[in-house]
Amino acid sequence: MSDSIVIFDSGLGGVTALMEAIRAMPAEHFIYYGDTAHVPYGPKDAEEIQGYLDQMMAATRPYSPKAVLLACNTATVTSADYLRKKYTIPIVGMEPAVKPAIEHDVDLKRILVLSTEGTGKSARLRRLVEKFDDDRLVDILPLPNLVDFAERLEFDTDAVRFDLETILASYPLEEYGALVLGCTHFIWYRDLFRELLPDHMEILDGNAATVRQLMRKLNGNIEKEGEGTLQMAFTGNLSEETAAFLRCRLPEKMEFISLDTDND
């Protein structure tokens, strides 16, 4: 098997980054690893998540990964440094797009960062905010329900709308200039957020910048010709509905595989 790029998330969130990566590198060999046996990661502690990431590294080794993309903010804040110390291949992480949001924010309006609980309370996000947020514009709002909704493929139901409308109603949105989607699962809700938020608010996510960073780390070692491949592995049961959802959104060449994971 030729060298591949592994894209990791706790479940379906990272598929949004996978789609971006395929657009940017269509001839590449991608393995997507969704740890659906252990989703959600948001409430879990770092040590537990690191154990799951070690399982992912072991299970994908036969595919000779040349890089791993953590398409998961929670996995990045808890485990990117841990993985980088332990493994020699490039580990590319993603973090909420706080910096671009502040840079675009010429009117000094407030910025609302949505994340999981784990990302929201992480020292890494706190440091990121402290580094760029001189004017104290950034508020962090953990939205754990949205991860569960996404895993159940509930993208625009009454329950989701009610949940988001209720939460957003407690924010004076006219004071906010941007919403940052700081969890890859939330990117599936971009259209719904667009509908629910006032027009002046920008919506930002980290996918494009993360894929650019992945390409920089690959340092020219990117397939330029030939047909790319895409193999999708999930540690939990893959329902018919989820398989159909993915088939509609991903290239036809995609195939589902099972990896040898040690799931308890």
- Residues with active-site annotation: 72, 183
Closer to ligand DGL at the Cβ: 9 or 20?
9
Closer to ligand DGL at the Cβ: 35 or 223?
35
Q: Which of 39, 140, 232, 233 binds ligand DGL (CB under 6 A)?
A: 39
Q: Does 42 bind ligand DGL (CB under 6 A)?
A: yes
Q: Say which residue the tokens 């020699």 belong to.
A: 88
Q: Does 137 bind ligand DGL (CB under 6 A)?
A: no
Q: Does 72 bind ligand DGL (CB under 6 A)?
A: yes
C-beta neighbour count of 158 within 10 angstroms: 8
d(C-alpha 89, C-alpha 43), whole Å: 28
Near ligand DGL in 172-191, by CB under 6 A = 183-185
Q: Does 36 bind ligand DGL (CB under 6 A)?
A: no
Q: Which of 4, 6, 10, 22 binds ligand DGL (CB under 6 A)?
A: 10
Candidate segments 66-74, 134-142, 237-245, 249-257, binder of ligand DGL by CB under 6 A: 66-74
Would you give the distance in Å from CA 258 to the centre of its chain? 21
Q: Residues 11, 60, 91, CA angle at the centre, nearest 5°?
A: 75
Peptide bond into 40 cis (omega under 30): yes
Give the pair of three-digit tokens for residue 212: 């650019």
Near ligand DGL in 190-219, by CB under 6 A = none
Least Cβ distance, residue 114 to ligand DGL (angstroms): 10
Candidate segments 7-15, 213-221, 229-237, 250-258, binder of ligand DGL by CB under 6 A: 7-15
Q: Which of 55, 119, 210, 242 binds ligand DGL (CB under 6 A)?
A: 119
Alpha helix ranges (H) inside the chain: 15-24, 46-60, 73-86, 98-104, 117-120, 123-132, 144-151, 158-169, 190-196, 207-218, 240-249
Residue in 13, 139, 155, 2 with CA at minimum distance from that of residue 74: 13
Phi, psi of 81 (to 5 degrees): -65, -40
User: Which amino acid makes up residue 57?
Assistant: M
Give the pair of three-digit tokens for residue 60: 């994908």
Give residues in contact with ligand DGL (CB under 6 A): 9-10, 13, 39-42, 72-74, 116, 119, 147, 183-185
